[in-house]
Amino acid sequence: MASATVKSNFYKWHRVLGLTALIPVIFWTLSGLSHPFMSNWFRPSIAEEVFKPLPQSQMKPVLSIQQVLDKNNISVIRNFGLINFNHNTYYQVLDKDSVYNYYSANDGVLLKDGDKLYATYLARYFTQDSTSNIKKIALQTTFDGQYQPINHLLPVWKISFDRPDGMDIYIETSQSRMGTFNNNTRKAFLWLFEQFHTWQFLADIGGDIFRNVVLLIIMVVMLFALISGLTVYGLMWKKFKSVTQKRKENGGEDKRIVHRYHRQIGLIVSFVMFTFVTSGAFHLAVKLHNTETPKADYGQVIDRKQLAISNLQLPVADSIIKRIAVVNFGGNSYYQVTDNKKQISYFNTLTGIEQINGDEDYARFLSTYYHTSLDADKFYGRVKVNQVKQFDNEYGFINKRLPVERVSYADGSNWYIETTSSKLATKVAGIDRAEGLSFIFLHKYFGMTWAGKDIRDIVSILASLGVLVVSLFGLASFIKNK
């Protein structure tokens, strides 16, 4: 039998640890309760979420990219595309200064403020709002409280509509897609979640590392509060049971009802608390571990002389061409053609010959580029590449980009490459994979997905409420003891 001193010490430390973690628990549970409302029930609706470009046969470009470049005395570009908006077709040219310019595909004339006009067109397309005034439009190159890192896409245009709901649309013109959209309600939820769940105010004070260290310390305190509470219950449950029985036999008043509810509810929700705390702590620890600065996005320079073959004379039917671009790797330049089935083909810009398995080759090239010096000695051996067209548990919807090529290495790591933007979507290796799975299953309850999103969110709300209630009963017990 444990000594009275040991029991007393455990009880004392449980109270100290519990009180220390009380305010953070209230912050996290209340903000956690807001997440289902923000991401599901109160999420603003939008008319269109995916832009469907016209096939090249309906765009009907008159001039080739070579003719447009020559007419405008352009000798070097980074990339180009073919788009149609406001009943006109344009070449979207990324110049050597990484600025998008738009040239008519009929006469080669430059469209003033073309990127801003295209962003506005796409914003109106997604909202199906052709009448509201645009209150503000600005190019955003960094994430902030309303456009958070979870959205991944940068740079984007932020288009703010002059509407009662305060709708903002974030547009990535290079891929003709939407980053996210927020109305006034969602903005309020985002602020609440950012300040009380991710504690952005700490990052504003001392940076991300400072915030993550503080949060990790609090998580450890919460874990010890949980363990000490279970230990106290284990050491003293016979005493609690006998006291309850004597009270009932004597017909006495239950003066420790608050304490009893704290113990009982705490025991019921202890597993939930454990999953929240361990997954959250693991998440923070991995963030602190992954401190290496990622490589800059792959940049290329294409000389006009490399574009010998016309982009309008490729051996692909115009009726199935959805997107065209140009890429450079392995000492050669290629037209990158995406068809209506999201298959990507590569044609040498000098010879017109198709590069068999070109998308796999380009993905391997980009994956090698994005490896840092710390990765260099870890990825020898077999490399397997396959296209991913749907999100799954490892490559979740938060990564935004599809389709991507998954480059798999012999050590089990997977690098996801979006070849159409030449960007690294994400990499999953070792501890990152374990952390990702623990977070989506133990923290976000993705194991309940089979029951539907509404049921999953209800379960997560009940779990958060349980933790909040047991914490408040603990506070009431402490106050009653004084």
User: Which residues, listed in sequence order, are joined to residue 427 by a DSSP beta bridge?
Assistant: 415
Alpha carbons 92 and 314: distance in angstroms, whole number: 19
Residue pair 183/165 in contact by the 8 Å Cβ criterion = yes
Nearest to 322 by CA among 153, 164, 175: 175
DSSP letter assigned to residue 298: P
Is residue 372 very low, low, confident or very high in pLDDT (cuts 50, 70, 90)? confident
pLDDT recorded at residue 456: 81
Taking the model in full, what pTM does it have? 0.86
Percent of the chain with pLDDT over 70: 89
Q: Would you tell me how many other CB atoms lie within 10 Å of the CB of residue 220?
A: 15
Omega of the bond leading into 155 within 30 degrees of 0 (cis): yes
Of 284, 265, 269, residue with least CA distance to 221: 284
pLDDT value at residue 165: 93
Structure confidence by residue, pLDDT tens digits, 32-68: 888 777 776 677 789 999 999 999 999 999 999 999 9
Provide the mean pLDDT of the chain: 87
Q: Which of 272-286, 386-400, 466-480 has the lowest mean pLDDT?
A: 466-480
Q: State residue 338's pLDDT score.
A: 96
Q: For the segment 321-353, what is each residue's pLDDT rounded down to a tens digit?
A: 999 999 999 999 999 999 999 899 999 999 999
Angstrom CA distances, 153 to 54, 79, 157, 212, 402, stand at 23, 18, 10, 24, 12
* Residue 239 pLDDT exceeds 60: no
Of 181, 131, 192, which is closest to residue 156 (Cα–Cα)? 181
**Domain residue ranges of the chain, discontinuous segments joined by +:** 4-42+197-293+439-480, 56-196
User: Predicted confidence band at 378 (pLDDT cuts at 50, 70, 90)?
Assistant: low
